[in-house]
């Protein structure tokens, strides 16, 4: 089962990020004294750094807008996802390693949280592709990984994604039990 990028949702996300970028540019111009003649170097530095970071994100989003590969794949073996950096870096997450699936509210987004066992298998893959800052805190207190999936760019919302994953997992486990 494959899920692709919803171009309308992606365009809305790009529009929102662009509006935030414009606000950061205005803050930067204000902080360098363009309007008042007074400079605020810390504010200028922070707004410039955040603006550059957001500009890179917008460019990456524009480049991936016409991506034809699926963003999320549910297969017999497990879940392959490119909806978040950590899920993409983890590669195929096997069903047998997924201990729990739940919904988690983070900011304005609701995410599907996968509690994954065998961190010794996934962490080297994730650390190889991402910086140490991006992977800090993804291991839970029990030593399991918490990998989040977002539906923000898919043709569904988080509740639908959660239900779809749960139903597919149930179907796979019934199929596996029938074979035994």
Q: What is the pLDDT of residue 51?
A: 94
- CA 135, 140, 142, 146 torsion-angle sign: negative
Q: Are 28 and 47 in contact (CB under 8 A)?
A: yes
Residue 60 confidence (pLDDT): 84
Q: What confidence tens digit (pLDDT) does each residue in 17-27 have? A: 999 999 999 99
Instruction: State the pLDDT at residue 156.
Output: 85
Residues in CB range of 98: below 8 A, 6 or more apart: 78, 79, 114, 115, 116, 117, 169
Helix boundaries (H) for the chain: 7-31, 41-63, 85-90, 119-129, 132-135, 158-179
Mean pLDDT in the chain?
85
Give the tens place of pLDDT for each residue, 129-143.
776 555 666 666 677
pLDDT at 16: 92
pLDDT at 106: 84
- CA–CA gap between residue 79 and residue 75 (Å, rounded): 6
- pLDDT one-digit tens code per residue, 99-115: 899 998 888 888 999 88
Residue 49's Cβ-side half-sphere holds a number of Cα atoms within 13 Å equal to 6
Helix (H, G, I), strand (E, B) or coil at 4: coil
Q: What are phi and psi of 20, to 5 degrees?
A: -65, -40
Name residues of the chain where pLDDT drops below 50: none
């Amino acid at each position: 089962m494959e899920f692709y990028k919803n171009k309308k949702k992606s365009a809305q996300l790009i529009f929102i990020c662009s509006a935030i970028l414009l606000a950061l540019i205005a803050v930067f111009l204000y902080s360098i004294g363009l309007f008042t003649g007074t400079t605020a170097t810390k504010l200028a530095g922070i707004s410039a750094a955040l603006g550059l970071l957001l500009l890179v994100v917008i460019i990456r989003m524009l480049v991936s807008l016409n991506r034809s590969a699926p963003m999320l794949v549910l297969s017999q073996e497990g879940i392959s996802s490119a909806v978040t950096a950590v899920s993409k870096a983890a590669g195929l997450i096997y069903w047998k390693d997924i201990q729990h699936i739940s919904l988690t509210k983070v900011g304005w987004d609701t995410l599907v949280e996968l509690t994954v066992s065998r961190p010794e298998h996934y962490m080297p893959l994730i650390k190889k592709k991402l910086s140490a800052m991006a992977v800090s805190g993804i291991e839970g207190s029990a030593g399991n990984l918490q990998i989040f999936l977002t539906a923000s760019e898919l043709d569904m919302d988080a509740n639908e994604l959660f239900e779809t994953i749960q139903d597919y997992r149930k179907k796979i486990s019934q199929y596996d039990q029938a074979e035994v």
